Amino acid sequence: MTLSGLFAAARHRPTHRQVWGLATPMILSNISVPLVGLVDTAVVGHLDGAHYLGGVAVGATLITFILWAAGFLRMGTTGFAAQACGARDGNRLRLVLLQALWLAVLLALLVWLVNEPLLRAALHFIDSSEALLEQARIYFNIRLVSLPAALGNFVLIGWFIGAQRGRAPLFMLLTANLTNIALDVLFVVVLGWGVAGAAWATVVGDYAGLLLGLWLLRPVLVRYPGVMAWGDALRLRGAAPLLRVNRDILIRTLALELVFYLLVLQGARMGDSVVAANAVLLNFLMITSHGLDGLAHAVEALGGHALGQRNRQALKRVLVVSTFWSLVVGAGFVLTFNLFGDWIISLLTSVESIRDVASTYLPWMAWMPLVAVWSYLLDGLFIGATRARAMRNAMLLAVLFIYVPAAWLLQGAGNHGVWLGFYLFMLARGVLLGGWFVWLWRRDRWMHPPV
């Protein structure tokens, strides 16, 4: 793109409005999620016994692992929905929705079938009291009831993002989370149901969000007329591309989870204060993701829509505008973390030794947004284009040839080496995806769907 073309794209006000019209509700949606965890901690934390809060923490971690691994249902749906909308293909849009929802149901059934051995294997490695483990079992088993709704919500949120209906996920998540919060207080504090009450509050919240999401489908379906091919959906006819994308995103997600696991493991070898401080610092990355993920979702929807229309100019404008705003938001996080990082740490922990260690390594996370921004932005671009195989390959290359060797070579550098290795990993993800995009774009292959 020439310099004049770059400035023309950057000045295109409708694209700015489109980007923020999608990003703003998604950022607000993201912010509502950790509030539920805070309320769960607050209400259960006041029960008479540490094993209650510990049980919720362990049970929630197991459920979160399953849900995070199933994140492909959200990401895999977005690109196909966006491209169907761009092509004004109402039949394809409906088929994507039905097939993805059916996959969510099948996955929930699979987890239900293996939940007992899965739970036993997970708790086997946790060296805690039997009282805590019993509470974890109670919480986990009740939360499984909401698994179809939680996975269905992933599908609906991804589908709405692809259809450029950013407010629908906001309303869904607010309904689910506010219901959860209100019932947390009712079930745990008022009715005294304990850990089971916290779990049932989440179950009801998940189903409330799902029901609202299904109700919000109608305006989109009216805008894109078509036929519901129930038989094709249940037989997964023509679902091979969706299945391949979901498979590749699952592999990518598991590789990313491995990185975070190794990061915790490295810190644990240096003592309790270091591993606790690293856990505190990872919250800075979570905060960053709330802003940058919103813009990445806009790239997914608008980029996929442009691809469905085969509109190169629209995609250029989306890229320029989204990159600009992502850098602005990233720079805002850098400024905030450098000015108020120690204060944020003090909010997250009252243990002086952990605060001291976290402050020592704070500069690594204070500047992380400007390194991580490219991963978020390019992930959104590739998700919208349904190029999950490239995302998978880039992740595996970054883990196997950058992060793992760096973690081994930098062992002598202590915790600074841990964070340097993570920096190199995040940077490698951006470089690999960015290089692959430039290669495809220059050969005029980006606007054609991946084989």
Q: Does 266 or 375 have the greater pLDDT score?
A: 375
For the chain, how many structural domains are there in total? 2
pLDDT of residue 49: 65
pTM: 0.88
Q: Which of 103-107, 140-144, 157-161 has the lowest mean pLDDT?
A: 140-144
Judged by DSSP in three states, 165 sits in: coil
Average pLDDT of the segment spanning 12-36: 82
Question: In this prediction, what percent of the chain has a pLDDT beyond 90?
Answer: 58
If asked whether residues 65 and 85 sit together in one domain, one would say: yes
Span between the terminal Cα atoms of the chain, in Å: 26
- Of the ranges 58-72, 166-180, 280-294, which one carries the lowest mean pLDDT score? 58-72
Q: Is 26 exposed, middle or buried (0-12, 13-18, 19+ CB in 10 A)?
A: buried
**Structure tokens belonging to residue 12:** 């295109």
Do 118 and 223 fall into the same domain?
yes
Question: Residue 39: which residues within 8 A CB-CB, separation 6 or more?
Answer: 180, 181, 184, 185
> Does residue 438 surpass a pLDDT of 90?
yes
Q: What is the mean pLDDT of residues 29-40?
A: 66
3-state secondary structure of 123: helix
Q: Assess whether pLDDT exceeds 60 at residue 33.
A: yes
pLDDT at 127: 60
Tell me, yes or no, whether 270 and 152 share the same domain.
Answer: no
Give the integer Cα–Cα distance in Å for 124 and 142: 20
Q: Which two tokens stand for residue 194?
A: 């304990």
pLDDT of residue 38: 59
Residues of the domain holding 79: 45-238
Please check whether residues 250 and 150 belong to one and the same domain: no
Confidence of residue 282 (pLDDT cuts 50, 70, 90): confident
Mean pLDDT of 191-211: 91
Q: Tell me, what DSSP letter sits at residue 224?
A: S
Domain final residue, candidates 188, 223, 238: 238
Rounded mean pLDDT, 80-84: 94
- pLDDT, mean of residues 162-183: 92
User: Rounded to the nearest 10 degrees, how much is the dihedral formed by the CA atoms of 108, 35, 68, 162?
Assistant: 90
- Both 234 and 254 in one domain: the answer is no
**Radius of gyration, alpha carbons of the chain:** 22
Q: How does the average pLDDT of the chain come out, rounded?
A: 88
Instruction: Name which of 58, 34, 206, 53 is nearest 140 in CA terms.
Output: 58
Are 264 and 348 in a shared domain?
yes
Q: Is residue 1 predicted with pLDDT exceeding 60? A: no
CA distance 106 to 142: 19
Q: Is residue 388 part of a domain?
A: yes
How high is the pLDDT of residue 5? 66
Chain-centre distance of CA 395, in angstroms? 15
Does residue 382 sit in the same domain as residue 258? Answer: yes
Q: Does one domain contain both 343 and 393?
A: yes
> What is the band of 234 on the pLDDT scale with cuts at 50, 70, 90?
confident
349 pLDDT band (50/70/90 cuts)? confident
Rounded to an integer, the average pLDDT of 233-248 is 89
Question: Which residues touch 300 (CB under 8 Å, ≥6 apart)?
Answer: 75, 78, 79, 82, 161, 162, 380, 381, 383, 384
